[in-house]
Amino acid sequence: MGEITDFDALRRAMAENSERPEGPARNARAEQLLAEAERLNVPLAVIEALGHQLKVYNYSSEKDKMFVPFARLLRLWDERPEDFDEYETHSLHWVFKWMSAGMLDQPHVPLASVEKWLGEMEHRYRLAGHSERAVRAAEFSVAVHIGDLGRAGRAYAAWLAADRDRMADCHACELHGQGTWQVECGEDAEALRLWRPVLEGEYSCAHEPHTVLASSLAPLLRLGRTDEARAHHLRGFRLVRPMESMRGAYADHVEFCALTGNEARGLELLAERPAYFTDPGHPRSRLEFLAVVALLMDRLTVLGLGGQRVPGPAGRTWTAGELAGHARAEALELAARFDARNGTSYVGDRVRARMAQQPLVERLPLGVRAVRSHPAPVVAPPAPEAAAASGEAGLADLLADLLAEARRLSDTLRPHALEAWAAVARAAEGAELEPRDRAEIADHQAMERGPEGAPLFERAAALYAEAGDPGEALAARARGAYARALAGEADAAVTAVAALRDEVLALYAAEGTGVRQTAAVLMSRARILVRRLHEYGGDGDGGVGGDPAEALAEAGHAVREVLALVGGRAEGDVRLAARAAEARGMLAGLAALTGDAEQAAEGHRLAAAEYVAAGLPWFAVEHEVEAAGLAHGLGDPAGTERALRSALEHGGPYVEPAGRAQLHLQLAEVIGGRGGAGEAAEHALEAAHWADEAGESRTLGAWARHQLGGFLLREGRCAEAAEVLESALPDLTAETHGEGAVVQAQWWLGDCLSELGEHRAAAERRLRAAEIARHWPEQQDHATLAHLAAESLGDAGLLEDADRAYARAGELWRGLGNPYFLVRSLRARAWLALRGEGAADGARELMEEAVRECEHALATAEPAVRDRLTAELANTHRQFGDLLARSAGGAEDGEGDGDGDTAETFEAALARMDRAAELFGTLGAEGLHGRTGAELAAGRLEAGLGRPARAAARARGVLAACADPGVPDDTARSRRAEAEELLGALPDH
């Protein structure tokens, strides 16, 4: 930043400063530039510097500084209006609106002064011949702020009725204000209708759609349009984040987090902007920010997290409870100042209502990573009401109720039966119970211990025997044998359960026990034999001391024995129906071990169907997952999708969070594979949510976010995808997820950023991905990423870096034997060279090299690729012609300066266009689009060289070629329009 010595240098410096990020540094530079302007002794220089200073103040947190430069500008205008050029005259009147809003936002400015200024604005606009539209819009803002809704309605109508002129706000800003009024009137849907053109990109400006996206969040939530609200938050926060002046919109995003169960993300947002707590330059947006801080802190306090450390004003540490009190007090004090100035309670009433809001959604998954701020709710079994009586009788009644509930849950195989029995065990401590009661308690305690439950099963068996139920005693001992198998004692378990089988069958034959108990023993035997089979290897490839084929046959026989026993007896008995369904699933597993995937898949589907028919859908999930995996292996994506959908439907809330995440993620991959990116994104979003719930954010959650980002990108939702991918990348690691996932995520993020116009950031992502891929044996991805990075570097204006990246990509394409992209990298370098200073010769040399490389590839090409290479060569000649014309100063329109060098360059360009048209002509109908485009470019060059007849002949040739009904309508229409335009520009043609 050297000394400013002339007006042009001052203007360049102001333009550079305008491109800097909003904030105090940019403001300070504007102040320096005003001092430099004053030393130039040029009145317009001072006027422009004051205007620049006023603008950067307005777009910063120091809005209160606007009034001084504006007052000085107004004085200069009143004293010497002739010193203002047309642009500065327009700018002076334009910023009258900023002053009106600026005064309203400062509670120390009296309302009378605001009203007086509104009158001054109306007077000056009338003198300048401007419409009253902007004046009425300003009046509307004043009326709404003070709560005079009658006046606001009248001003709103007058605003819309007045003619739009140069002083009216842009369409985007006007629509934002109009929609805000509809929200004020309780018309959320109408507000969103008004905002649609801004949200869809039809209208935009420096602060739109930023503020519309933020303002739309609460209305969308109130209307239940949560998917749109999520998208607007991700897209909008990305726009707001780098802009210091948008504290009010930032507050809307914090509020959104507080109302959707995303308190943790809200805290992250607060941590990003510590200065927002205290910046005094714009009291109104500080009031809005503090109000939502209080709302968020109250939410944390309600969740039992009032003592949690949270980000807050600098200088001390804060808990949620402390910050809630501080933010509320500060917000109410500011609101009181506004209300005292306005003479109403309107601002304070609105602030209190905002701080008192209740969540609109329990939790809305966002896709971005955020640690849950409070524990996930636990789905607990319904507990019977505690006995109202006290003393031993009351405890006895309570225990009886608990026993009845536990038996109900276990008899009907409901989820949480074990938890219910655990409650019984706790309540029974020290109580006198019947042997049967104690047996059931011990039995279920043993089940909860899994492989370590064998001793408790033996105790339960003894108690069942004492209670006079020998069949249940045998069933408990059989369960104990299975526990031993789970503990690694499969052979001993097989021996033990064989004797138990014989005993129970004899007892059943003598009518000494029932089908349930007998089936329980037989099922335990089947489970043990299948378990042993897995220890042996199961597929005949080896084992731990037995013949796998014999073990397979024995296990199959045991499973069929269960089916033979319960067959025909299961109807109406949920436990027997479950035995039959489990046996079907076990047979499916045995079929899979033998390599019969189709039979295995069908068996698992049957098992799932039987569980569902029995009213036990949660047991079906395991088999539907197995069926999905088998269908995938069989190349049946439709079957895979059906099974996964069924698993999610039947699992409901009973599947653990990690399992739900896996199911959603698998379904996302299947649906995405058939092209359903939109629905796949929904499932990937759910997967990320449940992975976070499971505490697997860094592993499964990162993978889900990686997939979600890709699906969003495929849907063209680049801002959302960028937020999600940026959230995923810190957790994606080569060790956990593989280098391929890391590269893909960086690649996708680069694509997003490129679409969003963030070219430097896109280049950085693509270069990072290329650096990883450069070590891979296959270099296709490395070359592609280097090429894409070069494009981004060029778009970012980093010409030398872009040239080096294209050169590297070209070397890689050469090594891969890919002439198409080698030629394209050379052409790109040629265009970059032309953008540099004094580099026309270098640009031509690179384009000539591109032609040579393409000609060489064509000369040695196989017949199958000759047409494609011919088209590439034709395109190269066409671009060479464009480059030559542009290097002469007239581009392909032929508007040169007429000197000899220019004419010679145009002749060379014309020769390239003719060669391009000739090559495209050899491709027949496939080359028509390229040929007619080259002919039109040649025609414009002919016109520039003073050959109107030749130019007209080329244009008529294009018209004739595009009159063919076989040419697609859109192509024909475009070419005919260009040809007619060229003919119309030629004299006497």
Q: What is the mean pLDDT of residues 251-268?
A: 96
Q: What is the mean pLDDT of residues 261-286?
A: 94
pTM: 0.85
pLDDT at 288 over 90: yes
581-585, 618-622, 839-843: segment of lowest average pLDDT: 839-843
Rounded percentage of the chain residues whose pLDDT exceeds 90? 82
pLDDT at position 892 is 47
Q: Give 557-562 contacts, CB < 8 A, sequence gap 24+.
A: 558/522, 558/525, 558/526, 558/529, 558/530, 559/526, 559/530, 559/583, 559/586, 559/587, 559/590, 560/587, 561/522, 561/525, 561/526, 562/519, 562/522, 562/523, 562/526
* Structure token digits, residue 662: 């896996």
pLDDT at 967 over 60: no
Helix (H, G, I), strand (E, B) or coil at 431: coil
Distance of CA 650 to the CA centre of its chain: 28
Model pLDDT for residues 635-683, shown as the tens digit of each residue: 999 999 999 999 999 998 889 999 999 999 999 999 999 999 999 999 9
Q: What is the mean pLDDT of residues 600-627?
A: 95
Cα separation of 584 and 524, whole Å? Answer: 15
pLDDT at position 480 is 96
pLDDT at 846 over 80: yes
Model pLDDT for residues 319-328, shown as the tens digit of each residue: 999 999 999 9
Residue type (1 letter), 290: L
> Which helix (H) or strand (E) covers residue 523, if one does?
helix 515-536
Cβ atoms of residues 921 and 927 within 8 Å: yes
Top-ranked range on mean pLDDT: pick from 105-109, 216-220, 533-537:
216-220
Buried b (16+ CB within 10 A) or exposed e, 252-281: bbbbbbbbbbbbbbbbbbbeebeebbebeb
pLDDT at position 62 is 87
pLDDT at position 841 is 84
Model pLDDT for residues 409-443, shown as the tens digit of each residue: 999 999 889 999 999 999 998 888 999 999 999 99
pLDDT at position 2 is 60
Report in angstroms the alpha-carbon separations of 545 from 467, 553, 828.
Answer: 40, 16, 69
Residue type (1 letter), 910: L
How does residue 388 score in pLDDT terms, banded at 50, 70 and 90? very low
How does residue 1 score in pLDDT terms, banded at 50, 70 and 90? low
Cα separation of 612 and 578, whole Å? Answer: 10
pLDDT at 776 over 60: yes
Q: What is the mean pLDDT of residues 2-17?
A: 88
pLDDT at 888 over 50: yes
Cβ atoms of residues 521 and 497 within 8 Å: yes
Instruction: Work out the number of other CB atoms within 10 angstroms of the CB of residue 505.
Output: 16
pLDDT at 68 over 60: yes
Q: What is the mean pLDDT of residues 463-492?
A: 95
Rounded percentage of the chain residues whose pLDDT exceeds 70? 94
Report in angstroms the alpha-carbon separations of 945 from 575, 904, 910.
Answer: 94, 10, 10
Q: How high is the mean pLDDT of the chain? A: 91
pLDDT at 228 over 60: yes
pLDDT at position 537 is 63
pLDDT at position 387 is 38
* Structure token digits, residue 312: 């807050």
pLDDT at 35 over 90: yes
pLDDT at 355 over 90: yes
Length in residues, the chain:
989
pLDDT at position 572 is 81
Cα separation of 184 and 147, whole Å? Answer: 10
Model pLDDT for residues 848-857, shown as the tens digit of each residue: 999 999 999 9
pLDDT at 621 over 70: yes
pLDDT at 573 over 70: yes
Whether cis (ω within 30° of 0) applies to the bond prior to 384 is no
Model pLDDT for residues 133-163, shown as the tens digit of each residue: 999 999 999 999 999 999 999 999 999 999 9
Cα separation of 653 and 663, whole Å? Answer: 13
Tell me, letter by letter, the H, E, C secondary structure of 43-85: HHHHHHHHHHHHHHHHCCCCHHHCHHHHHHHHHHHHHCHHHCC
Model pLDDT for residues 672-713, shown as the tens digit of each residue: 999 999 999 999 999 999 999 999 999 999 999 999 999 999
How does residue 734 score in pLDDT terms, banded at 50, 70 and 90? very high
How does residue 730 score in pLDDT terms, banded at 50, 70 and 90? very high
